[in-house]
Amino acid sequence: MSQTNPSKRFAEFFAGIGLVHEALKGSGWDCVYANDIDPKKEAMYKGHFGPSPYFYLEDVWQTEQIVEEIKESVFLATASFPCTDLSLAGNWEGFEGDHSSTYFGFIRVLQSLGGHKPKIVMLENVTGFLTSKGGEDFARAVSALAAEGYWIDCIVLDAKSFVPQSRPRVFVIGFHESLQSERIIRQVKNGWFGDGWQAAIDSADSLRPDSLLRLMAKTELSTGWATLTLHPPKQTKYSLASFIDTDDDQLWWDKAANDKHYAMLSDLHRKEVENRCKAGGLHVGTVYRRCRYNKMRAEVRFDNVAGCLRTPRGGSARQIVMIIDDARVRFRWMSPREYARLQGSPDFTLAKNTTQSLFGFGDGVCVPVIRWLDQNILTPVYEDEMTSTGHIDCAKIQGRNGASSVPKRNVGAIKEAEGLTQQITQRVDATQ
Ligand SMILES: C[S@@+](CC[C@H](N)C(=O)[O-])C[C@H]1O[C@@H](n2cnc3c(N)ncnc32)[C@H](O)[C@@H]1O
């Protein structure tokens, strides 16, 4: 493990069980502030990292308190804000919903940090973030970040490039306008000369689906878009079978549960299982139960990649393992340790309670994906900044002037979020 540089500090908002921290700690990032509102996540976080006095069980809307608690300026702030309202599970409420609108609680903290804003901000969310309200929520989110002085990049990475789990996620990176790193290529608006930004975007086209590029093109930012020269991650070679325990000691289901799930396979999937039985040998698949045309189905995949891990709300959100071992078909629930492996953190400390662990990992980030972002974006920009400025502002924040301008939480946090998003939308509309 590399040495922790005293100024390579970060704050982790919506920390969950700390998988962002887990990814960053190996390259010397020092977490000086973390928050989450869920005591069970806090327990898992502390169960793994040990006593963590910098972890606060608090609502992100507690702006004044949070600014007091971030005692030293941080180079990086990460925010994996809740995705609930950016998917079917939250009825696509988007930023009108109670959960995902907590993003604006994070923005309010940034505003309140005044001249001590982090140099880099990294957001993470599901791909529904790009489609929520026809892209309006994404535009609101990045415009709010730009209004705080950040140049913005956005990429989509799928965990399956690193581990056998399908988990595409959107990452928004905000580079503060004060950064001097020449590595950051800023978009030239209406420039005479070839736009280096466009060339860098074009040369890494697998990082940004067309839908994202269209969204970026129509979202005018008060700062602008920026990027680095990025080379998409190389596909890691792996076998799902080595992430899944296939021995007899596992909690394989009894005959009744086995038969029930076998009967839930569609004709197509049953045929696939039969063919694999005939072929012999070991086959590892993963299964989700889904309601199709009012019928509960067990949908199996054998493409060497597990389905996206989710929080086990309701009977169909927990992943099932199916193995075919020389024509013998067995099912069982996927275990917390397997969830940990598929999130790229095989040795993470589990909670005693299985559901608690599954919730923690189901909500979390995939560790090697964050490591890739660190190695390719966060640490290089940090190191450039150290070199170009000769130092990093290590000023103690406590007692500085900016803290007194913390806006008060008034009628209610959500109302305020809606007000803020409205202002931002008006600003976006005015620029179009
Ligand atoms: C997507 S998860 C983040 C997971 C985390 N990145 C990890 O890898 O473990 C979002 C987290 O936001 C937390 N959260 C929800 N509302 C919050 C609020 N108002 N203030 C702080 N945290 C909140 C949830 O408890 C949840 O752990």
Whether 96 is in the pocket of ligand 1, judged by its Cβ within 6 Å, is no
Residue nearest to atom 27 of ligand 1 (CA): 16
pTM: 0.89
Residue 196 in any domain: the answer is yes
**How far apart are the C-alpha atoms of 304 and 165, rounded to whole Å?**
9
Secondary structure (H, E, C), 187-211? CCCCCCCCCHHHHHHHCCHHHCCHH
**Which of 290, 319, 334 is where one domain is finished?**
334
Beta carbons within 10 angstroms of residue 344's beta carbon: 23
Residue 4 in any domain: the answer is no
What pLDDT shows up at residue 313? Answer: 77
**How far apart are the C-alpha atoms of 366 and 159, rounded to whole Å?**
6
Whether 312 is in the pocket of ligand 1, judged by its Cβ within 6 Å, is no
CATH number for the domain that contains residue 22: 3.40.50.150
329 Cα to the center of ligand 1, angstroms: 38
Same domain, 204 and 251: no
Residue 340 in any domain: the answer is no
Burial of 263 (0-12, 13-18, 19+ CB in 10 A): exposed
348 Cα to the center of ligand 1, angstroms: 18
Torsion of CA 84, 90, 96, 101, to 10 degrees: -10
299 Cα to the center of ligand 1, angstroms: 29
| Token output for 347 | 């040795």
Domain count, the chain: 2
Dihedral sign computed on CA atoms, order 199, 203, 205, 207: negative
Cα angle: 28, vertex 34, 38; to 5 degrees: 140
103 Cα to the center of ligand 1, angstroms: 10
What pLDDT shows up at residue 92? Answer: 85
Residue 241 in any domain: the answer is no
CB 190 within 8 A of CB 263: no
Burial of 387 (0-12, 13-18, 19+ CB in 10 A): exposed
Phi, psi of 263 (to 5 degrees): -70, -20
Beta carbons within 10 angstroms of residue 102's beta carbon: 25
Nearest to 418 by CA among 88, 93, 123: 93
38 Cα to the center of ligand 1, angstroms: 7
Same domain, 31 and 98: yes
Residue 192 in any domain: the answer is yes
Nearest to 392 by CA among 149, 185, 116, 2: 116
Same domain, 214 and 251: no
DSSP string for residues in 65-76: HHHHH--B--SE
Residue 327 in any domain: the answer is yes
CB 324 within 8 A of CB 347: no
Structural domain span for residue 112: 9-236+364-431
Strands 282-292 and 320-325: antiparallel
Residue nearest to atom 8 of ligand 1 (CA): 364
Residue 339 in any domain: the answer is no
**Which of 278, 312, 334 is where one domain is finished?**
334
Max distance between CA atoms of the chain, in angstroms, equals 73
Q: What is the pLDDT along the chain (432 residues), one digit of tens a residue?
A: 334 455 899 999 999 999 999 999 999 999 999 999 999 999 999 999 999 999 999 999 999 999 999 989 999 999 999 998 898 776 888 998 999 999 999 999 999 999 999 999 999 999 999 999 999 999 999 999 999 999 999 999 999 999 999 999 999 999 999 999 999 999 987 766 668 999 999 999 999 999 999 999 999 999 999 999 999 999 999 999 999 999 999 999 999 999 999 999 999 999 999 999 999 999 999 999 988 888 889 999 999 999 999 998 766 789 999 999 988 999 999 999 999 999 999 999 999 999 999 999 999 999 999 999 999 999 999 999 998 876 544 443 333 333 333 333 333 454 454 455 455 444 434 443
Residue nearest to atom 10 of ligand 1 (CA): 82
Same domain, 318 and 371: no
Nearest to 180 by CA among 395, 383, 30: 383
Same domain, 313 and 216: no
Same domain, 318 and 394: no
Bridge partners of residue 76, in order along the sequence: 10, 120
**Which of 334, 349, 379 is where one domain is finished?**
334
Q: Name the strands in the sheet holding 30-36, side by side, starting at the edge strand that comes first in the sequence.
A: 55-57, 30-36, 9-13, 76-79, 120-126, 168-176, 150-158
